[in-house]
Amino acid sequence: MTSTITLDGNSLIREHVAAIANGASVTLDSAQLAKVQRTADFLADQVKRGEPIYGVTTGFGSNADKLLGAYRARDELPGADLVKHDPEVRDGTLLEELQRNLVITHAVCVGKPLAIDVVRAMLAIRVNTLMRGHSGIRAATLQALAELLNRNVIPVIPEKGSVGASGDLAPLSHLANVLLGEGEAFHNGERLPGGEALKRAGLCDCRSKKAWR
């Protein structure tokens, strides 16, 4: 098995996952990464246009008809057009705050950390899934996740916890937390605060540089 596995969203097999779990590095298919970015650009354009998008410009669950900076997503209700004019919505401040808070508030697992090889496998599978280009994630975020694997920055994910039927949201929030400079991570076997692990690996501390969003 090669020491570098290419992730393209389609060709990952069990042997690849095992190799990455045991330390193989990853690279991202450039053509597929371009497709990922096209989807992200489309989503960004819809946000600029003030379109109501669940969980991006709106709340969640029972708040799905409420826009950030407004009241309702329907044009005929008060405040619906505010998303097109509120500067904090237009420049992304509120949207970024929503997504950041979503990650932080779901990082609620407890117990012993999952084994490093298990988390490496989780990272590989998550990156490969997002490489399909259906989610609206930025290419830069996927590149950052790949660099966690390649530079041996492995998020600390406690072994117990879920969010109801969406059971993977809690452990995946611990995984994503490290890109925000939050949470904890193992770097070369040492358990560190997330931001410190990024710095030691030569990666950015996103709390100050906002490079990975």
The per-residue pLDDT for 70 is: 54
pLDDT confidence of residue 18: 97
First-to-last alpha carbon distance for the chain, in angstroms, is 33
Is the pTM higher than 0.85? The answer reads no
> Which residue numbers in the chain have pLDDT < 70?
1-2, 69-92, 164-167, 205-213
pLDDT number for residue 167: 67
Q: Identify the pLDDT of residue 94.
A: 72
pLDDT at position 69: 65
71 is catalytic: no
User: Per-residue pLDDT tens for 144-201?
Assistant: 999 999 999 999 999 998 876 666 889 999 999 999 999 999 999 899 999 999 999 9
Given the residues 22, 41, 45, 54, select the one marked as catalytic. 54
CA 134, CA 147: separation in Å to the nearest integer?
21
Are β-strands 4-7 and 25-28 bridged in parallel, bridged antiparallel, or unpaired?
A: parallel
Choosing among 3.30.420.40, 1.20.1440.130, 1.10.275.10, 3.30.160.100, the CATH entry for 4-48+87-209 is 1.10.275.10
Distance CA 144, CA 179 (A): 8
Judge contact between 92 and 101, C-beta under 8 A.
no
From residue 172, give the alpha-carbon distance in Å to each of 40, 63, 126, 132, 202. Answer: 20, 23, 9, 18, 23
**Phi/psi at 4 (5° precision):** -125, 125
**CB 110 within 8 Å of CB 157:** no
Q: Which residues, 6+ apart, have CB-to-CB distance to 35 below 8 Å?
A: 133
Domain ranges of the chain: 4-48+87-209
